[in-house]
Amino acid sequence: MLVARSLTKTFTSGAHPLTVLRDVSFDVPDGAFVAIVGPSGSGKTTLLGLLAGLDTPTSGEVLLDGAPLHRLDEDARAKLRGDKVGFVFQSFQLIPTLTALENVQVPLELRGDRGAAARARGLLERVGLGARLDHHPTQLSGGEQQRVAIARAFANHPKVLFADEPTGNLDGATGDNIVALLHELNRDEGTTIVLVTHDAALAERTQRVLRVRDGALVEDRATQAR
């Protein structure tokens, strides 16, 4: 599903180049639930951005479901995201002017999907928010917003879902519920999940851990949960 080959990302900071990722390579098979861990500034968010096609590498390759992301322009990557990728963010990133139902419908409507409303309604009921369809994000708690975000992420039957610190802004119990939901959807939908976190305990609840430190991949192992 996901192939990273010799990924390197360098930024220019003032007059000096700053390499935040150095020669990272790994494969992620279909249906896997993988965690990328590392301390703040390790390069894990950068790596996530490259894998999801939100950014382009300085060198190296990323293949997402066979498509070479590094060779596509921004609009082509956007189309690919709309077809095959879901996102869950730390700060939820719901569109504040839309209701819960409308937020979930967005990726379906962008593809011109006629059954968008019905699918969105089903997903929200699946995540336990069947009674909050017409509520705006400001009317929902943090946990509820993240569940809407998860429903949105699964709306277009993504091949791969990227979650960036999905429990970072939530309390312990709510975070646990979110992770459980992700597991459930991974199992039932068969979606590959790549989760970025600095929380080691959360990482151990996935099937495989990729540890990043100082821009390099220092560990790649299966977890006990597998």
Partner 1 sequence: MLALLRLAWRESRTARRKLLLYMSSIALGVAALVAIDSFAANTTRAVREQSRAILGGDVAISSRQEYAEPVVTLLDSLRGAGLPIAEVTTFASMATIPSSGNTRLTQIRAVSPGFPLYGDVVTRPAGVWPALADGPRALVDPALLIALDAEIGDSIALGYARFEIAGVITQIPGDPGVAATVGPRVFIADRWVDSTRLLTFGSRAEFETVIRLPEGTAPGRWIAPLRPRLRTGGVRVETVVQRENDLADGISQLSKFIGVVGLVALLLGGIGVASGVHAFVQRKVETVAILRCLGATGWQVLLVYAVQAAAMGFVGAAGGAALGVAIQYALPSLLGDFLPVDVTITIEPTAIAAGIALGVWVAVVFALRPLLALRRVSPLTTLRRDAALIGAARRSDPASWAVTAALALSVVFLAVARADTLEEGFWFTIGIVVSLGALAASAGAMVVVARRLSRGPWPYVVRQGIANLHRPANQTTSVVIALGFGAFLVSTLVLVQANLLKQFDATLATSRGNLLFFDVQEDQRDGVSALVRDAGATVLQTVPIVTMRISSIKGMESAAYARAAGLPTNYWALRREYRSTYRDTIVATESVIRGAWTDAPPDPTGAYALSLEREVAENLRLELGDEVVWDVQGVPVRTRLTSVREVEWGRFEPNFFAVFPTAALRGAPQQHVVLAAVSADTTVARLQRNAVARYPNVSSIDLTFIRGTVAQIVQRVSSAVRFLAIFSFAMGVPVLFSAVAATRRDRLRESVLLKALGASRAQVGRILLSEYAALGVLGALAGMLLSFGGAWALLRWVFELPFDAAPAAALGIAALMASMALVIGFLTSRDVFRVTAMEALRE
Nearest CB to partner 1, comparing residues 135 and 207: 135
Nearest CB to partner 1, comparing residues 168 and 221: 168
Shortest spacing between CB 162 and partner 1, in angstroms: 9
Shortest spacing between CB 55 and partner 1, in angstroms: 5
Phi, psi of 74 (to 5 degrees): -60, -45
Q: Which residues bind partner 1 (CB under 8 A)?
A: 45, 48-49, 54-55, 74-75, 78-83, 85, 87, 89, 93-98, 102, 106-107, 109-112, 116, 152, 156, 164
Task: Give the separation between CA 117 and CA 122, rounded to whole angstroms.
Answer: 9
Nearest CB to partner 1, comparing residues 121 and 176: 121
156 exposure class (CB count in 10 Å sphere: 0-12, 13-18, 19+): buried
Shortest spacing between CB 107 and partner 1, in angstroms: 5
Nearest CB to partner 1, comparing residues 96 and 172: 96
Residue pair 33/226 in contact (Cβ under 8 Å)? The answer is no
With DSSP H G I counted as helix, E B as strand and the rest as coil, what are the percentages for the chain, rounded to 5?
35, 30, 35
